[in-house]
Amino acid sequence: MPDDARFISIPSHKKLTSHFHAKDPIMAQAIEGIGLFKLQRNKNYFQTLCKAIISQQISTKAAETIHGRFCALFPGRKPNSTALQKLSEEEMRSVGLSRQKIVYLKDLSLHFENKTIRPHRLFHQSNDEIIQCLIAVKGIGRWTAEMFLIFSLNRLDVLPVDDLGLQKGIMKLYSLPELPTRKEIQKFGERWEPFQTVAVWYCWRSLDANIISY
C-alpha cells in the first residue's frame, strides 16, 4: 500500500498541535485559535467530479442552478457514468451546459465506464498516481485533482500551491506584504509535512469561519 494511503485516518488534535509546535509555531497558534480540524469526506466520486466541471468559470449561484438541473436528468437525481453516456447533447444543453462542458462530462463518464478511473482502487493509489489519472480527463486540471484528494479521499499531505485561498491565508497568517510565490509555498509545505492538508485547511479557515467542503 502506498505511503499516502495511511493518512486516511485523521490524527488527534493533540498530535497535530504537537507536530506544528515543533515545525511551525505560527501555524500552531492558528490551530489553537481556530479549533479542531474537521475534514468532510465526499465519497460520491463521480458526482463530485461532475460538479467540479460544471462549476468551472461561472458564479457559484449559476453553478448550483445548472448542477441541480443536471442532476434532475438522472434517476433519483444521482448522476452516474452509464446514464450520462446515454444522454444526448440536446438534453445536456437544455440544462444550461456549454458544448465544451458536455465534452468534458462525456469524457469523464467514459473514463469511469472503461475503468481508466476505478473508484475502488483510488484508496490504494498514491497522490501522484491519482492526479495523473484525473488530469487525463478533459477539463480536469491539477487543482481539481488536488481538491479531490483532500475532500473525496481525505489525503492529509496535499499542497495545492496554485490555490488562491491558500495563498491569501499564508499572506494573512504570516503577515506577508504580498501573495507568496509557488516556491515560497513549497517551502512552507516542507515545514508542514506530512500534514500539509491540515495547514492548508487552517489557512482557508483563517479567511472563512465556515467549515470548508467541496
Q: Check which CATH number belongs to the domain holding 196 and give it.
A: 1.10.1670.40
Residue 14: inside a domain, yes or no?
yes
Low-confidence ranges of the chain (pLDDT < 70): 1-9, 212
pLDDT given for residue 149 in this prediction: 96
The tally of domains found in the chain comes to: 2
Given 128, 157, 163, 208, the catalytic residue = 163
Burial level of 50, CB count in 10 A (0-12/13-18/19+)? buried
Task: Give dist(CA 200, CA 156) in Å, integer.
Answer: 10
pLDDT given for residue 11 in this prediction: 86
If asked whether residues 96 and 72 sit together in one domain, one would say yes
Residue 66: inside a domain, yes or no?
yes
DSSP letter string, 125-145: S-HHHHHHHHHTSTT--HHHH
If asked whether residues 133 and 162 sit together in one domain, one would say no
In contact, 30 and 20? CB cutoff 8 Å: no
If asked whether residues 119 and 169 sit together in one domain, one would say no
Task: Give dist(CA 40, CA 57) in Å, integer.
Answer: 24
pLDDT given for residue 214 in this prediction: 73
Residue 19: inside a domain, yes or no?
yes
How many CB atoms within 10 Å of residue 87?
Answer: 20
In contact, 139 and 149? CB cutoff 8 Å: no
pLDDT given for residue 8 in this prediction: 52
In contact, 24 and 35? CB cutoff 8 Å: no
3-state secondary structure of 116: coil
Q: Which of 111, 130, 151 is the last residue of a domain?
A: 151
Q: Which of 151, 180, 199 is the last residue of a domain?
A: 151
pLDDT given for residue 4 in this prediction: 41
In which domain, by residue range, is 131 found? 45-151
Q: Which of 127, 151, 175 is the last residue of a domain?
A: 151
* 163 counts as catalytic: yes
pLDDT given for residue 195 in this prediction: 97
Q: Over the range 1-39, which residues count as b (16 or more CB within 10 Å of their CB) and which as e? A: eeebeebeebeeeeebbebbeeebeebbebbeeeeebeb
**Integer angstrom CA distances of residue 84 from 47, 103, 113, 138:** 11, 11, 10, 15
Residue 214: inside a domain, yes or no?
no
3-state secondary structure of 93: helix
Q: Check which CATH number belongs to the domain holding 143 and give it.
A: 1.10.340.30
Query: What single-letter amino acid sits at 139?
Result: G
pLDDT given for residue 5 in this prediction: 39
